[in-house]
Amino acid sequence: MQHLHHLYIDGRWVSPETPRLVDLINPATEAVFATFAPSDVGDVNRAIAAARQAFGAYAQTTRRERLDLLRAIVDRYRRRTDDLVEAALLEMGAPLTLARERQVPAGLIHLQQSIKSLETYQFDTVLGSTLITREPIGVCGLITPWNWPLLQIACKVGPALAAGCTMILKPSELAPASASIFAEILHEAGVPPGVFNLIQCDGPTVGQALVSHPDVDMVSFTGSTHTGIVVAKAAADTLKRVHQELGGKSPNILLDDASFATAVRHGAYACFANSGQSCDAPTRLLVPAHRQPEAAAIAKSIAEELVVGEPRSLLTTLGPVANKAQFARVQSTHPRKTAGSGLARRWDRG
């Protein structure tokens, strides 16, 4: 996390145009563990200009050159595992086992999948008498969330590199440390200047400037439905392609002939994983009315197995939610069915 006070633009670590620092809070302790330097609109424009300048050359690279680059990134990613785990512990409060076994490996899996896809991808196909050539779309604006930061960064950056695109990554302001280390990994792997650029932010201004810019050809956004609507509107005037993965509530429907001992157990674990902060968490369990008591009893037993504690302890299986706003949102979901502070017993913070 040595570059949290810098942005990564055109192959160099640079200072933001407007110098200021924002505190980063460890959600497990509610203490400041670092500060980061956010971007402003001028920094966004610099990053886009660098990506546009680099696109011509990078789009002409061969499949072999891109494969070599992605393999170098995977190698450096593996070497930085401990640093990435530490970032997940600090900025997410993720339990050590979750960080080491799921959060960090999730990013690696997506990078490896990008390699696998590129190895066999057909850029040229013949349809009748027509040759169809798939070309890189151009400069991509990548906006990622805080709940699975490395997974989301890797599953956007990896395919963009494989396709021959250049890009600007804007991670969540709640997870800048993971993104900064990821940028270090790409720099160490030899990504050409301007191909990958990192901007940080602490509000909507930077994202708005990124998605509305005429030199950005495509936007990939993962986040809330509300923000997705804003992104789509901002991108509409320049007719850029927009790909979105938006939030929602996932139903888990069990029919009468299901094995409840297995299905409810799997569903409950999937809900509690990552402190419930997953877009695919099956948070609405729908069962036949006459089997509701059985399902509730099984889910209750799973909840009682969870261990809330210090994230660095190997015994801890459930960490905090990511921030105070998220905590308040959870507390307001069922106000009539909860009581007390909402904190686990024996804990006065986190």
119-173: per-residue pLDDT in tens? Answer: 999 999 999 999 999 999 999 999 999 999 999 999 999 999 999 999 999 999 9
Quote helix, strand, coil % in the chain, to nearest 5.
45, 15, 35
Provide the number of structural domains found in the chain: 2
CATH number for 230: 3.40.605.10
Q: How far apart are CA 275 and CA 318, in angstroms?
A: 6
Q: What pLDDT is recorded for position 281?
A: 84
Gyration radius (Cα) of the chain, Å: 22
Note whether residue 116 is domain-resident: yes
Q: Is the pLDDT of residue 349 over 60?
A: yes
Please identify every residue annotated as catalytic: 245, 279
In this structure, are strands 31-36 and 22-26 parallel, antiparallel, or unpaired? antiparallel
Instruction: State the residue range of the domain holding 212.
Output: 7-246
Say if residue 84 is in the same domain as residue 231.
yes
**Residue 295: inside a domain:** yes
- Residue 339 domain-assigned (yes or no): no
> In angstroms, rounded to a whole number, what is the distance separating the alpha carbons of residues 167 and 169?
6
Q: Are 231 and 314 part of one and the same domain?
A: no
Q: Which of 246, 269, 288 is the last residue of a domain?
A: 246
Q: What is the pLDDT of residue 329?
A: 77
Tens of pLDDT, residue by residue over 15-57, are 999 999 999 999 999 999 999 999 999 999 999 999 999 999 9
What global pTM score does this model have? 0.91
Greater confidence (197 vs 146) lies with: 197
Q: Are 58 and 148 within one domain? A: yes
Q: What is the pLDDT of residue 252?
A: 93
pLDDT for res 156: 99
What's the per-residue H, E or C state across 218-283? EEEEEECHHHHHHHHHHHHCCCCEEEEEECCCCEEECCCCCCHHHHHHHHHHHHHHHHHCCCCCCC
Residue 342 pLDDT > 70 = no
Contacts of 47 (CB under 8 A, 6+ apart): 7, 9, 10, 39, 168, 197, 198, 199
Q: Are 224 and 289 in a shared domain?
A: no
Q: pLDDT over 70 for what percent of the chain?
A: 95
pLDDT value of residue 47: 99
